[in-house]
């Protein structure tokens, strides 16, 4: 019997000798004390000197900084996670602003591209199209019975990179690390899952190093039967677990969310998490420009999952007393076929809700000049879409144009921070999906906010898991967006930021968790009785990446 890092007794015997050094959850490396080395049979298996975790962290970060390539740094961190979980999370939490771009966007995109080449050891579960009928058995193979949140992808729309098949497993793995590093959730509660249903990426299928099914994608009823079996299996094996859908193709993303949202505890981060981040950014942009949300007109470049952002904006406007028709009229969409307007053929049901009366417009600059939007939000996955002409047009129709280039990785960004500030003569309120350094303009430093979903989903997960919330609702994302916007300080706003500093993500996640949990209690969805001090209750549930003392 041992205690975990939260002091809870775990019903398993402590490994002895070299075996404890090979268990990343228990391994402390050179930090094992003299007494622990004697009691655990480690004498002679480690060098003489005993180091503190802080000293180990200094060594780890120094070694990482010696590496030039972001992908090499990613591999270093993954190796550390495989070797010593406590040290990995201590290092990441203490250096979050530096390491978040390595663990996730933009480096995780390259890691997914190279996943077959850099594959070292399995992490998470792989469920293939050939596993229909035995998904429950596969989930029972996972060694942890405490799973409380699952991140699952089928790899069809990885970031802005497209169909990467089983190589998309890098995304759930990365998301799980952020649940812990940013949201404070115990890593033992998380499970990354790859639904390997094939790929339409022919070069990948013919790659001898491809790790997945080298077959065309499973489609139609058979695909949904597999998804049904998966959701039912999660409910049976890990009752009440939160399921996060990640990087599914747009049509499947909307369909699966609608299919399961009233049957299980699920959400889609690309639709709902992105929506909360966009809304929070627009709320703070309004504080900078003096144009509140109720007076904004938003033009979205990209008409896929961005529809979810428009839906949440509509909900926020309705909460401010604006009618639904007027609220929807504030949101416009432009895609590769031009402006989405009434009568345009081939629109999805989600797009139809934002097809307004207007003449056809085929070019983005012309759309900006015709609609005069206060905000231009890029979710297109088309690198360089916001040309100098587009940005100049935004500056012509706004004193302070709001420009969010949210597609990632960096190669897919609609524009860079420097391009946005240059074309608007420093007047833009800018945010991006990938990180960009601060920009000096006219002798003044302009902060560049990263519109990162890690501001939302870890806090959402903390609130849902800690309070055992049975369903995830749109109202929770509205509350999360309001909490995220409110967490941005006056100093950060004065520097031009619309989101808090990355280093403050753990603090922000706690505020988001509280807002989500309060909404869950208000909707009668929480199984845990409401604590008198909800913030303290949530704080007490946080995982601390410190070493336990062994008997």
Catalytic residues: 104, 175
- Relative to beta strand 266-268, strand 242-245 is parallel
Distance CA 171, CA 162 (A): 13
- Asked if 490 and 285 touch (Cβ cutoff 8 Å), the reply is no
- Asked if 400 and 426 touch (Cβ cutoff 8 Å), the reply is no
Q: Which residues contact 207 (CB under 8 A, 6 or more apart)?
A: 116
**Taking the CA of residue 111 as centre, how many other CA atoms within 13 Å lie in the half-sphere pointing to its CB?**
27
- Asked if 50 and 33 touch (Cβ cutoff 8 Å), the reply is yes
Distance CA 176, CA 242 (A): 12
The DSSP secondary structure of 477-512, one letter per residue, reads HHHHHHHHHHHS-HHHHHTT-SS--GGGHHHHHHHH
What's the CA angle centered on 505, arms 502 and 507, to 5 degrees?
135
How many Å is the Cα radius of gyration of the chain?
24
Distance CA 27, CA 89 (A): 13
Reference 124, options 77, 168, 186; nearest CA is 168
Distances (CA, A) of 239 to 25, 136, 235, 541: 24, 12, 5, 19
- Asked if 105 and 451 touch (Cβ cutoff 8 Å), the reply is no
- Relative to beta strand 125-128, strand 190-196 is parallel
- Asked if 505 and 454 touch (Cβ cutoff 8 Å), the reply is yes
**Taking the CA of residue 2 as centre, how many other CA atoms within 13 Å lie in the half-sphere pointing to its CB?**
16
Distance CA 417, CA 314 (A): 28
Distance CA 419, CA 89 (A): 35
The DSSP secondary structure of 343-379, one letter per residue, reads T-TT--HHHHTT-BS-----SHHHHHHHH--SEEEE-
Widest distance between CA atoms in the chain? 79
Distance CA 273, CA 257 (A): 13
- Asked if 387 and 402 touch (Cβ cutoff 8 Å), the reply is no
What's the CA angle centered on 157, arms 154 and 161, to 5 degrees?
130
Distance CA 184, CA 539 (A): 9
């Amino acid at each position: 019997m041992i205690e975990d890092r939260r002091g809870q007794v775990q019903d398993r015997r402590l490994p002895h000798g070299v075996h404890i050094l090979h268990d990343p959850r228990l391994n402390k490396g050179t930090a094992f004390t003299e007494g622990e080395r004697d009691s655990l049979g480690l004498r002679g298996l480690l060098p003489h000197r005993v180091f503190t975790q802080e000293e180990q962290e200094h060594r780890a970060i120094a070694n990482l900084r010696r590496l030039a390539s972001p992908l090499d740094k990613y591999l270093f961190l993954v190796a550390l996670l495989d070797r010593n979980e406590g040290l990995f999370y201590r290092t990441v939490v203490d250096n979050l602003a530096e390491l978040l771009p390595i663990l996730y966007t933009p480096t995780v995109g390259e890691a997914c591209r190279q996943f077959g080449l850099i594959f070292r050891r399995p992490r998470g579960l792989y469920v293939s199209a050939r596993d229909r009928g035995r998904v429950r058995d596969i989930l029972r193979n996972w060694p942890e019975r405490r799973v409380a949140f699952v991140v699952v992808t089928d790899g069809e729309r990885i970031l802005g990179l497209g169909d990467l098949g089983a190589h998309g497993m890098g995304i759930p793995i990365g998301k799980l690390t952020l649940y812990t590093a940013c949201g404070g959730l115990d890593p033992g509660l998380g499970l990354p899952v790859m639904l390997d249903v094939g790929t339409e990426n022919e070069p990948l299928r013919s790659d001898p190093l491809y790790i997945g099914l080298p077959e065309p994608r499973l489609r139609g009823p058979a695909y949904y039967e597999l998804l049904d079996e998966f959701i039912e299996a999660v409910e049976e094996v890990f009752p009440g677990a939160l399921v996060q859908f990640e990087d599914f193709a747009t049509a499947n993303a909307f369909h699966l969310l609608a299919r399961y949202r009233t049957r299980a505890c699920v959400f889609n981060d690309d639709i709902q998490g992105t929506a909360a981040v966009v809304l929070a950014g627009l709320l703070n942009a309004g504080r900078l420009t003096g144009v509140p949300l109720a007076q904004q007109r938003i033009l979205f470049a990209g008409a896929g999952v961005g529809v979810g952002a428009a839906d949440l904006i509509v909900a926020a406007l309705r909460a401010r007393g604006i009618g639904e028709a007027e609220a929807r009229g504030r949101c416009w969409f432009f895609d590769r076929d031009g402006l989405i307007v009434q009568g345009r053929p081939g629109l999805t049901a989600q797009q139809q809700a934002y097809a307004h009366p207007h003449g056809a417009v085929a070019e983005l600059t012309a759309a900006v000049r015709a609609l005069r939007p206060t905000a231009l939000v890029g979710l297109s996955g088309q690198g360089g879409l916001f040309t100098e002409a587009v940005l100049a047009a935004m500056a012509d129709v706004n004193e302070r144009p709001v420009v969010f280039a949210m597609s990632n990785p960096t190669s897919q960004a609609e524009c860079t921070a420097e391009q946005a500030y240059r074309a608007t003569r420093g007047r833009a309120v800018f945010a991006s999906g990938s990180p960009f350094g601060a920009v000096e303009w006219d002798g003044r430093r302009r902060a560049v906010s990263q519109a990162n979903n890690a501001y939302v989903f870890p806090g959402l997960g903390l609130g849902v898991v800690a309070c055992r919330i049975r369903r995830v609702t749109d109202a929770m994302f509205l509350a999360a967006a309001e909490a995220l916007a409110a967490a941005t300080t006056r100093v950060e706003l004065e520097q031009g930021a619309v989101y808090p500093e990355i280093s403050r993500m753990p603090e922000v996640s706690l505020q988001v968790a509280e807002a989500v949990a309060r909404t869950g209690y208000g909707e009668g969805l929480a199984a845990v009785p409401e604590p008198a001090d909800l913030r303290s209750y949530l704080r007490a549930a946080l995982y601390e990446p410190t070493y336990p003392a062994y008997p």
